[in-house]
Structure 1
Amino acid sequence: MLRSMYSGISGMKNFQTKLDVIGNNIANVNTYGFKKGRTTFSDMMSQTIQGAKGNDGVLGGVNPKQVGLGATLSTIDTISTQGSIQSTNRPLDLAISGSGYFTLMNGANTYYTRAGNFYLDSEGQLVNSSGLVVKQEGNNDPIEIPSNAQSFSIDSAGVVSFVDSEGILQEAGTLEISTFANPDGLEKFGDNLFTVSQNSGNPTAATAGNEGAGKLMAGALEMSNVDLSEEFTEMIVAQRGFQANTRIISTSDEILQELVNLKR
């Protein structure tokens, strides 16, 4: 009886966490490059009332008798599937079609992102919305487009070209795309950024379209991979699961009350 009460408590805590993850997914349904989360559970240890018995030649085998002690949080996964690509016709908007992350620098710190809404700062450097510099493939130099450039473009390989003031085509550099053995193991840092973790593996620097990295699409952005219909369905499941566990607790409480009332 008391076991059922504590099992219900564990279930309530787990479904609350699931609702927290679902709420974060829905809040980021329009966040560029956002990768949704998923919550999974596992059963806790079980109390063995009677162990299993094998066939002894006289009696047949008997299965073990065990009572579960509730559920526990197993994982909160980052689902790194491709989000839909939306055309913007803005030349500094970039989307990766396939694997890989844009590489950003903040001094000695390196970050990774799928959000390709980039900008030019006062020095003509290619930066993200927070001012982090977009890393150039092969070195740590920023990609700079002179203020007197007549035009510029970024191709599917990430090569940034511009026409200088004299009408000559120049290359400003190539964007570095980083790939990981386990991209789901990256840690979310906030502000659309990821950082390396002990289980993501070290980044492999590449150019778009090479060494497993996806191709770039200029004038487009990758949207969030959150599916609202799926999230609302999971929300209903979590809500009903939470309610069912509260019923377990209230039923256990009623039984305890009956025991207390035995002696009056």
Structure 2
Amino acid sequence: MIKGIYQSARSLLAANKNMERISSNLANLNTVGFKREGLFTEMLKSAGQSEVRSSVDTSQGDIYETSNPLDFAISGEGLFTVRTANGYEFTRKGNFRISDDGFLVDESGNPVMGKDGDINMLEYLNGQQTDIKVSAKGELSVNNVHVADLLIVKIDDYEKRKMGLNFSSTQDIKDFALENEFSVRQGYLEESNVNPMIELENMISISKDYETAYKMVTYLDSSLEKTNDLGRI
């Protein structure tokens, strides 16, 4: 009976975690480049616990045109690299801008990385009309002058590197550099790969699982209490 209570409690824990992931997925339905999270639960029988681990759906989101020359989308494998105060982060979110001091940065002001480091275009921004181009291979040029190559990387362990909306690393980022398997599209952005209908279906299913597990915990707890009462007689 005690074992049954533990098993049902683990099911409740898994259902709660699943609901958290679904809520996060739906909240980021319109977040550029967001990758949805799913869950699986691994039972650790020896410890009488369950470990709830997340999985990341890395499938391609739809790509749409913005006509903004600083919006980039990746077709195929790969992620952009940005440098933050906590290390490097990898992202599919390619809505970039140029900072006041000429650096290519993300929405939060973090420098976007090229193969040779931060990308600075200040000396090429001379107040005249600026023509910024990015090739399919990530080669960035300003007024037909090559400035940098975007550092596009590939990682395998998405689940372990997940940090907020992006993925992180403290390793040498050049270890992850991609030369092929991707195509950069300028003037486009990638939508999230969240399907709201699937998330809502999952939410209904998990709600039923939660209700079943909760009823089982309540029933077993009541049965245990009655057994204890009989033992006192």
What does 1:1-264 align with in structure 2 at a 5 Å threshold? Answer: 1-45=1-45, 72-106=50-84, 109-137=87-115, 139-144=116-121, 145-152=124-131, 153-163=133-143, 169-180=144-155, 182-185=156-159, 187-190=161-164, 192-196=165-169, 203-206=175-178, 210-212=179-181, 214-259=182-227, 260=229
How far does residue 161 in structure 1 lie from its aligned partner after superposition? 2.3
1:149–1:159 distance in 2 versus 1, CA, 3 Å: farther
C-alpha contact (below 8 Å) 2:9/2:217 kept by paired residues: yes
Question: Structure 1 residue 217: deviation in Å?
Answer: 0.8
**Whose Rg is larger?**
1
Distance 1:230 1:204, change over 3 A: same
More helix by share: 2
Matches of 1:136 and 1:256, distance apart in 2? 63
Contact kept, 8 Å, 1:196 with 1:202, in 2: the verdict is no
C-alpha spacing 1:202/1:140, structure 2 compared with 1 (3 Å)? closer
Q: Residue 108 of structure 1: CA displacement? A: 9.1
Alpha-carbon distance in 1 for matches of 2:57, 2:166: 15
Q: Return the offset for 1:10.
A: 1.7
Cα distance in 2 for partners of 1:106, 1:13 equals 33
Following superposition, the deviation at residue 241 of structure 1 comes to: 0.7
- For residue 197 of structure 1, report the CA deviation from its aligned partner: 7.0
8 A Cα contact 2:14 2:52, kept in partner: no
Query: Do the aligned partners of residues 39 and 71 (structure 1) sit closer, same or farther apart at CA in structure 2, a change above 3 Å counting?
Result: farther
Cα–Cα, structure 1 residues 193 and 254, in superposed 2: closer, same or farther, change >3 Å? closer
Structure 2 residue identity aligned to 1:157: K
Mapped partners of 1:149, 1:178: distance in 2: 33
Residue 16 (structure 1) shift: 0.8
Gaps of 5+ in 2: none
| More divergent stretch after superposition (99-108 vs 230-239) | 99-108
May I ask how many residue pairs the two structures share in their alignment?
228
**Aligned counterparts of 1:174 and 1:220: Cα–Cα separation in 2:** 18
Higher relative contact order (CA 8 A, sep 6+): 2
Q: Taking structure 2 as the reference length, what is the TM-score of the superposition?
A: 0.85
**Do the aligned partners of residues 122 and 43 (structure 1) sit closer, same or farther apart at CA in structure 2, a change above 3 Å counting?**
closer
Gaps of 5+ in 1: 47-68, 164-168
Superimposed CA distance per residue, residues 166-195 of structure 1 (whole angstroms, 9 cap, x where no aligned partner): xxx322222121123x152452333x4321
Seen in structure 2, the aligned counterparts of structure 1 residues 257 and 102 have a Cα distance that, compared at 3 Å, is: closer
Q: Does the 8 Å contact 1:150/1:162 carry over to 2?
A: no
CA contact (8 A) 1:111 1:194 kept: yes
Aligned amino acid, residue 136 of structure 2: S
| Amino acid of the structure 2 residue aligned with 1:150 | Q
- TM-score between both structures, scaled by the size of structure 1: 0.76
Q: CA deviation at 1:225?
A: 1.2
With over 3 angstroms needed to count, the CA separation of the structure-2 counterparts of 1:217 and 1:229, relative to structure 1, is same
Compared CA separation, residues 106 and 242, structure 1 to 2 (3 A): closer
SS in 2 for 1:178: coil
